[in-house]
Amino acid sequence: MWKYLAFVAAPIIAFGIQACAPKSQDDCGFVQNVYGERISWKGQYPVAMYIHESVPQEYVGAIVAAAKTWQDAAGTPLFNIVTNQRVTGPITAQKDSRNVIYFLNTWEEDKAAEQARTSIYWIGDQIREADMRINGKFTYYWNSPGMASFTQASSVNIEALFIHELGHVLGLKHNDGSNSVMATYLANNSDRVNIAEADRSALRCEY
């Protein structure tokens, strides 16, 4: 039976009910099932991430850069960002074993403070799918050579946001200490793009 957990960039609302597993583990910063096992891809990586046609082309490079940040920290390929084909169709997670990044121009009014939401689905202790939704209601910028950077009061660093959400794709939960990129809140105009030692330590447990 598939189990599901949704992460939001702000504020957190996450619950999970999990199937059988043998023994408890230290969480190491990861989501755990009800038996205390860490939830991750269990060796089934690099994780192929597909990009929906709703994602603006100018942000694709930020996705690739964010994936590289995690891979450099882990010392192993963790993601395969598929850039040569776009996913078409509805802007909704399909639970089809394909990992997709969406960019939504509409968002629930009662959750307007969410910058993004990543949902992971797992069986036992292994992630089988992860879908990411970016809230297009925010204004984003990316500090990249050749791309104009703008910093107005409501601007969010899109690369920093992708780094955070890809951490959730790996199974990491929020960490509000140690300068972690997995901190629940990403402040406006915050260039939080450097993996902290706490994040590297978490990676070593599973990757």
Predicted confidence (pLDDT) per residue in 170-197, tens digit:
999 999 988 999 999 999 999 999 999 9
The pTM (predicted TM-score) of the whole model is 0.88
Tell me the per-residue pLDDT of 122-163, one tens digit each, with 9 for 90 and over: 999 999 999 999 999 999 999 865 555 555 566 899 999 999
Q: What are phi and psi of 57, to 5 degrees?
A: -55, -35
d(CA 195, CA 48): 21
Cis preceding linkage at 90, omega within 30: no
DSSP, collapsed to helix, strand or coil, labels residue 143 as: coil
Domain residue spans in the chain? 3-206
CA of 71: how far to CAs of 120, 163, 170, 198, 207, in Å?
19, 11, 11, 15, 10
Class of domain 3-206: alpha beta
- Residue 8 — pLDDT band, cuts 50, 70, 90? low
Return the C-alpha torsion angle 176, 177, 182, 186, nearest 10.
60
Return the C-alpha torsion angle 72, 75, 80, 81, nearest 10.
-10
